[in-house]
Chain A
Amino acid sequence: MRISRRSFLEALGAVGVAASFSRLGEGRAFAQTAPDYKALVCVFLFGGNDGNNMVVPLDSAGYAAYAAARGAIGAGGLALAQAQLLPLTPSSGTAAYGLHPNLPDVQTLWNDGALGVVFNVGTLLAPTTKQQFLQNSVPVPISLLSHQDQQHQWQTSLSDQYSRTGWGGRIADGLGKGPLPAVISISGNQLFTVGASTSPLSLPAAGGSFGLAGFDGSAASNARLQAMTDVRMLQEQNLIVQATQSEATAALSASKLVAPVLAGTGSTVDGLFAGLTSSLALQLKQVARMIAARQTLGVGRQIFFVSQSSYDTHNDQLNRQGALFSDLSPALKAFYEATIQLGISQQVTTFTLSDFGRTLQPASGDGSDHAWGSHHLVLGGAVKGQQTYGAFPTLQLGGPDDFTSQGRWVPTIAVDQYAATLATWFGVSAADLPTVLPYIGRYPTANLGFLG
């Protein structure tokens, strides 16, 4: 089950990757003024967001196909009413798709040109058609439809193995050493954040504390702190002990720098999050506060990970997903507005990931089951917004995109391509891209074009 570092490197070698990295933004990325500051913000929707009810066709034929397969609400079905959908009107022409009614702020961001939608993205090992999948003529990700494995594959891009690193961490591997780890999770440990040579920082959501308590400067207290430090610095043989010591050392080091930022009450971005109490809002608020303090902290390139849970809507989906979207929508808008206020909206790109999409056909209990490809949101001043990217699947049970009979879409865009587009914008060179995304060369393009 475990993949060693060596086999990871072999995997890289197998696709002809140079082992070394040119240093991204070296020598200037961490300058105090950081004029070229950039941040990627990953919003992971844990559980498998039902993209079929996030973006729905508005044209009569498309909506009719959707409604027929999804079934009527109140009769075990999940079809949202056509009139309730929020039109995604492009800069010219009429709206072909509508958003879930609980995403009004997302519609606003679209209308502002800051948000795009990428269709039918999923874990892949090569471009794959339904026929190829059914004939087993292309390699297929291991453990499709399993939450944990598909979460990991979205985070690592390596769908044929149990990778020990994620693509966020591998981007950070190329960044050189800064005053803080380049990757910061506000959602605890996540594979996305782990590099081959770098480790992430984990911070609490807004309101949480990040420091060591219990030392008052007395002689006894100082001696206790010294003893604790001495013990932490002892060379130990046990690898789990070593890793635990390292985590504490990293935490205490970062805490000195970050605790004052987190403890501050006067961050200029706080007001934009007023009234928002969801976990996601508090996480994004913390990200905004960290970005606001970027010059104080002396950081130039940052990757953040935040998340929302409970998208595994096997039952009662309409209420559950609706409530989740009611949290997601204002949180994304508040965060985007924070980047505008900070004058760096062009330099911060936010994007969604999720385990998988869900079956178009409802399951017993007013829900839906695990599927594969799904739609995703990209947000930021650099996003070429008010547009969709990729091909919308044919909403037909057993149709050309469904590899089962319940409406599970074979992805037409690989996670690798989605990630490569973001990484390229962030500054990873074409030459370094395969180090971050080892299988990117298998796809016709490494840039989906949603970032300018």
Chain B
Amino acid sequence: MTTRPSSTPARVRFHPGALPCALLLLAGALGCSSSSGTPSPDGGPALNADTVRFLEQSTFGPTEALVASVQDAGFSSFLDAQFATPASSLGTYAVNLEPPAVKCPTGSPPNCYRDSFTAFLPAVQFFHNALVGNDQLRQRVAFALSQILVVSDGEVNSTYGMADYQQLLLDDAFTNYRQILQDVTLSPAMGRYLNMVNNDKANPAKGTHPNENYARELLQLFSIGLVKLNSDGSVVTDSNNQPVATYDQSVVDGYAAVFTGWTYPTMPGVAQKPHNPTYYRGVMEAVQANHDTTAKTLLDGATLPAGQTAAQDLKGALDVLFQHPNLGPFIGKQLIQFLVTSNPSPAYVARVSAAFADNGAGVRGDLPAVVRAILLDPEARGAAQSAPSYGKLREPALLAANLARALGVQSDGVYLRNASAAMEQPVYQSGSVFNFYPPNYPLAGTTLVSPPSTLLDSTSVLTRSNFIYALLFATINPDPTIPGATGTSAPLTALGTSAADAGALADRLNALLMHGTMSQPMRQAVVNAVNAVPTTDSLDRVRAAAYVVGTSAQYQVEQ
């Protein structure tokens, strides 16, 4: 299927009233001038609104140059090219042996802990890559996956271990979900995070049972969820209108027994042991003697016979999981929420589930097909969506990256990483396996959900505004503790060409940041702020405009 950018671009210059023109166009109103027209000499290039929206969903943010390029290539070609683009690197980090008695003994470099035992540096690189990497869609999908298949340095105290795990998600982002289940399950970082590593079969002498942590969260968070779903994502209920559970404790027991008998990869030059010491490079290794070889009861009555190896049981258990009908709607709906909108219609979820079930060539779980279905769906596309329930709050990392890319900010990633953390989203450092926010967080006063609104409270809403102020107005010098740091700067020179004309400046930000949805009263407010700055000070005029737009709820909620 080939979808070209809309032939009726919705870039607008004049708004007759408070309603976005897209709404008025839907209603058949005239007076919304919607010509793609020749850009005014000081107004920047003409931007197709649907292309801008598409890039909000599929990248870390549109730039004027990228919009122009995708307008030429078309969405489908852009996707094909992105699927083929290899992953950016999160950096190369030395292996730190663990557990040393003291991680950073006296005499270590001052930031030894941060730079060797946390995800700080890979997260800095994440933001740098988000600004400059060509694998934009891969990075977006991997970021979504990192928030579904969560590993955090709260437990994996290892810079290289965290980087290797997140790199795995980048590399696997356009493979098959079965492959991801396999690779994540055998990742030593995940093994450590959810205690599958060195998980031994029940030991009657010690009175211990197999550790349930990975089994439970694999079922609950990484694959099928707690309750049975229809293919449109709606919950299957029983005769008492109660949700039907997907599994009970006996199934958790079964999966916990499956995931016994694995240890860390054997370090080069070190003899293998039943419980290898901590080592995050490579994949976990089976230790058959520690594996539970009894028969196991899995989902919906599926069983594994007694006497299998650890690898056989693992394959069989993941195969059962992969075929479960919940998998498509459970993962597909969350990917829609991460990329497009918090409250997709059941029909949208069903279309994505169908793509998950069959990519058109009989293959289940093909992620490029799922991503394509999500981004080219009619509910994702169009110049604007007008339903009051549509859209999503930009989560901190995406807010920071979107603004930075649109405004031409140059950054080594340090400040953006720190700002995102201050706005309650420390990338790769989630407080728990439940991510920074749950997929069903209720939007106060409505019947909707708004997962990223978990992170929007009366403190962080001010932090967001203060971040935007600092990004635009402050000088952010290189952090001297980080080798090669270059700092963050927003020269705003590209937008400066529109600075003399407040209206043109507002229109340009409207097109680039809000895909043409800015109302006339909002535009007027931006113009007022700009016109309070002398025309001789073009930098501060751009800053004023970008501040008012950037801090607005109208922009921060991507519609």
Please tell me which one of the listed residues A69, A145, A224 contacts residue B249 in the complex, with CB atoms under 8 A apart. Answer: A145
| The residue from B393, B440, B458 contacting A254, defined by CB atoms under 8 A apart | B458
B482 within 8 A of A: no
Q: Are A223 and B557 in contact (CB under 8 A)?
A: no
Interface string of A276-315 (1 = CB under 8 A from B): 0000000000000000000000000000000001101011
Task: Determine if A322 is an interface residue (Cβ-Cβ < 8 Å).
Answer: no
| Interchain CA distance A79-B525 in the complex, whole Å | 66
Instruction: State how many angstroms separate the Cβ of B547 from the closest Cβ of chain A.
Output: 6
* Most-contacted residue by chain A among B342, B393, B447 (CB, 10 A): B447
Whether A239 sits at the interface, judged by CB under 8 Å, is yes
Do residues A241 and B553 form an inter-chain contact, with CB atoms below 8 A?
Answer: yes
Interfacial chain A residues near B454, Cβ < 8 Å:
188-189
Let me know if B442 and A365 touch, CB within 8 A: no
Find out whether the CB atom of A199 lies under 8 angstroms from the CB atom of B432.
no
Which residues on A sit within 8 Å (CB–CB) of B440? 1-2, 162
Q: Does A60 contact B (CB under 8 A)?
A: no
Q: Please tell me if the beta carbons of A240 and B198 are within 8 angstroms of each other in the complex.
A: no
Query: Residue B448 at the A interface, CB < 8 A?
Result: yes
Assembly CA distance A369 to B215 (angstroms): 11
Q: Which of A205-213, A374-382, A415-423, A441-449 contacts B (4 or more CB under 8 A)?
A: A205-213
- Chain B residues near A224 (CB-CB < 8 A): 529, 532, 544, 547-548
Scoring B260, B442, B444, B529 by chain A CB atoms within 10 A of each residue's CB, the highest score goes to B444
Chain B residues near A367: list those with CB within 8 A.
Answer: 195, 211
Please tell me which stretch of A80-88, A110-118, A242-250, A325-333 contacts chain B, meaning at least 4 of its Cβ atoms lie within 8 angstroms of it: A242-250
Give the Cβ gap from A4 to chain B, nearest Cβ, in Å.
Answer: 4
B29-37, B127-135, B301-309, B461-469 - the one binding chain A: B461-469
- Nearest to A201 among chain B residues (CB) is B458
Give the number of residue pairs across the A-B interface with Cβ within 8 Å: 267
B residues 444-464 with Cβ under 8 Å of A? 444-450, 453-462
> Contact check: which of B199, B249, B557 meets A241 at CB < 8 Å?
B557
Tell me if B243 counts as interface (CB < 8 A to partner A): yes
- Closest CB-CB distance, A219 to chain B, in whole Å? 6
Q: Which of A227, A250, A359, A364 contacts B458 (CB 8 A)?
A: A250
Give A170 to B478 CA distance when docked, in angstroms: 48
- Tell me the minimal C-beta distance from B532 to chain A in angstroms: 3
B510 close to chain A: CB less than 8 A: no
Interface contact B203-A364, CB-CB below 8 Å: yes
Bound Cα distance from A240 to B199, whole angstroms: 44
> A384 to chain B: which residues have CB within 8 Å?
none
A210 to B458, CA, bound (A): 9
Shortest CB-to-CB span from A125 to chain B, Å, is 11
Query: Which A residue's beta carbon lies closest to that of B23?
Result: A237
Q: State whether the Cβ of A362 lies closer than 8 Å to any Cβ in chain B.
A: yes
Which of these, B226, B388, B449, contacts A2 with CB under 8 Å? B449
Given contacts A71-B206, A145-B216, contact A310 B154 (CB under 8 A): yes
Contact yes or no, B447 A240, CB < 8 A: no
* CB <8 Å contact, B198 and A364: yes
Give CA–CA (A133, B463) in the complex, Å.
Answer: 47
Distance to closest chain A CB from B228 (angstroms): 12
Cβ of B45 under 8 Å from chain A: no
| B519 interfacial contact with A, CB 8 Å | yes
Inter-subunit contact A226/B528 (CB<8 Å): yes
* Interchain CB contact under 8 A, A238 and B559: yes
* Shortest Cβ gap from A188 to chain B (Å): 5
Chain B residues positioned under 8 Å from A189 (CB to CB): 441, 453-457
B-chain residues with CB within 8 Å of residue A100 when the two chains form the complex: none
Contact A244 B455 (CB under 8 A): no
A interface footprint on B541-554 (CB within 8 Å = 1, 0 otherwise): 00010011001111
Q: Does B533 contact A (CB under 8 A)?
A: yes
Chain A residue at minimal CB-CB distance from B275: A365
Residues of chain A contacted by B540 (CB below 8 angstroms) = 220
Q: B424: which of A71, A142, A145, A188 is its contact (CB, 8 Å)?
A: A188
User: Do A369 and B459 have beta carbons less than 8 Å apart?
Assistant: no
User: Which chain B residues border A210 with CB–CB below 8 Å?
Assistant: 458-459, 462
Identify B456's interface contact among A160, A239, A244, CB under 8 A.
Answer: A244
Query: Quick check: is B207 within 8 A (CB to CB) of the other chain?
Result: yes
**Is B386 within 8 A of A202, CB to CB?**
no
Evaluate whether A142 and B443 lie within 8 angstroms (CB atoms) in the complex, with A243-B450, A315-B211 already known.
Answer: no
> How distant is the Cα of A227 from the Cα of B505 in the complex, in angstroms?
15
Contact B442 A75 (CB under 8 A): no
Which residues on the A side are within 8 Å of B389 (C-beta)?
Answer: 239-240
**Contact assessment for A220 and B553 in the assembled complex, using a CB-CB cutoff below 8 Å:** no
Tell me the bound Cα distance from A250 to B461 in angstroms.
10
Contact at A234–B522, with CB atoms within 8 Å? yes
**B506, chain A: closest CB distance, angstroms:** 10
* CA distance in complex: A302, B454 (Å): 22
- Secondary structure class of chain A's binding surface, majority of residues: loop
Check if B525 sits within 8 Å of A227, measured CB to CB.
yes
Alpha-carbon gap, A404 to B252, bound state (A):
12
Q: How far in angstroms is the closest Cβ of chain B from A266?
A: 23
List A contacts of B462 (CB < 8 A): 210-212, 248, 251-252, 255
Residues in A whose Cβ lies below 8 Å from that of B195? 314-315, 363-365, 367
Q: Are A251 and B547 interface neighbours, CB within 8 A?
A: no
A76 within 8 A of B: yes
Q: Which residues of A contact B432 (CB under 8 A)?
A: 46-47, 147, 309, 312
- Across-interface contacts of B252 in A (CB, < 8 A): 145
Chain B residues positioned under 8 Å from A364 (CB to CB): 195, 198-201, 203, 208-211, 260
> Closest approach, in angstroms, between the C-beta of B203 and any C-beta of chain A?
7
Report chain B residues within 8 Å CB of A247.
456-458, 461
Structural contact, A227 and B460, CB atoms closer than 8 A: no
B242 within 8 A of A: yes
Contact between A361 and B548, CB atoms less than 8 A apart: no
Interface residues of A in 36-93 (CB under 8 A from B): 46-47, 68-71, 75-77
Contact of A69 among B198, B207, B342, B431 (CB under 8 A): B207
Asked whether, in the complex, the Cβ of A243 is within 8 Å of the Cβ of B446, the reply is yes
Interface assignment of B473: CB less than 8 Å from any CB of chain A: yes
B181 interfacial by beta-carbon distance below 8 Å: no
Contact of B526 among A70, A75, A227 (CB under 8 A): A227
Contact (Cβ within 8 A) B207 A77: yes
Residues of B within 8 A of A255 (CB): 458, 462
Q: Which residues of B contact A105 (CB under 8 A)?
A: none
Cβ contact within 8 Å between A71 and B459:
no
| A362 CA / B195 CA spacing, docked (Å) | 13
| Cα A71 to Cα B381 with chains together (Å) | 59
Q: A1-B235, A240-B557 are in contact. Are A227 and B459 (CB under 8 A)?
A: no
In the complex, which residue of chain A has the Cβ closest to the Cβ of B454? A189
> Which residue of chain B is the closest to A252 with respect to CB atoms?
B462
Residues of A contacting B157 with CB < 8 Å? Answer: none
Given contacts A314-B213, A361-B208, contact A208 B459 (CB under 8 A): yes
| In the bound complex, CA of A238 to CA of B342 (Å) | 13
Chain A residues with CB under 8 A of B216: 145-146, 369-370
Q: Are B466 and A214 in contact (CB under 8 A)?
A: yes
Q: Quote the shortest CB–CB distance from A94 to chain B (angstroms).
A: 29
Q: How far is the CB of A439 from chain B (nearest CB, A)?
A: 15
- Can you name 9 A-B pairs with beta carbons within 8 Å? A145-B252, A149-B226, A223-B533, A224-B547, A230-B521, A230-B525, A234-B519, A243-B443, A370-B216
Closest 3 CB pairs of A and B: A223-B532, A202-B457, A214-B469
B interface list, Cβ under 8 A from A: 18-19, 23, 154, 194-195, 198-201, 203, 206-213, 216, 220, 226-227, 235, 242-243, 245, 249, 252, 260, 342, 386, 388-393, 424, 431-432, 434, 438, 440-450, 453-462, 465-466, 469-470, 473, 519, 521-522, 525-526, 528-529, 531-533, 540, 544, 547-548, 551-554, 556-557, 559
